[in-house]
Amino acid sequence: MGISDFLKYSYWMDEEPFEKLKEILKNEGTELYCAQRVPCELLKVEIGYAAPEVWKVTCKHDAAPWYDASGKAGKFLVLSSKLLPQEYEKYHETTIQKSDFQPPNYPTRGEIKSLANSETFKRKKPKGWVEFPKETAEKLSQGFKTVVGVDEPLDQIFEVWSAVHANFLEGRFAIKDGKNTVPYTIADTNHTSSCCVELFNLAGEEFRVKFVKPCLGAKIAKALEADKYYRVESSKGIK
């Protein structure tokens, strides 16, 4: 599986070590970029951070519920093209690299429905997931048709979004790498939401490796290349 020179390291930390990191980097002449609207902005810079409040600016009804329900809630996300100083190794979460991975198969419509309605997903999906206000949902539906070119009922699109995350909770569609189960994104970018959930281990952190496609939001933000897989290695993965 070929790897490009795209390389990012993600870290989660509380405010105190984050402020100390800012001071260390400032003394070295390095300023951290601050994400303004979406955390995936950080994928476009050498080093930056997302404060807790940025999750609700644009991604209030998709990524933010996963953040709020995770063990990272209230923490700062730092993304860097280089490893942080040794003392920050304990905060390291994932390593992200571009890959030429191609999955052996994608799910059928029925298998997507099965994943989205699985007991595991029902149990683990966060409160507020895709609970868009009516007016916002209508604008979203229109945008899918006119801008994205996806003329499907919004509920059907949301079902795919749910199935994508469900697969990273269950590992139903995955490859084997030795003893490890390696799940992958089971839809195209235009039918995928909130890839940050998997990139930064808000879900599926138990898997040592995941292959993640950019979501539509990351595509629009020009943060990652659409429909390409990125290898995400978890520092805390056990499967």
Strand 33-34, strand 47-50: pairing: parallel
| Among 24, 34, 19, 36, CA closest to 79 | 34
Mean pLDDT of 50-64: 96
Query: For the whole model, what pTM was predicted?
Result: 0.94
Q: What pLDDT band is residue 2 in, cutting at 50, 70 and 90?
A: very low
Handedness of CA 133, 155, 186, 142 (dihedral sign): negative
Q: What is the pLDDT of residues 170-194, one digit of tens each?
A: 999 999 999 999 999 999 999 999 9
**Average of pLDDT values for 84-99?**
96
Dihedrals phi, psi of 121, to nearest 5 degrees: -70, -40
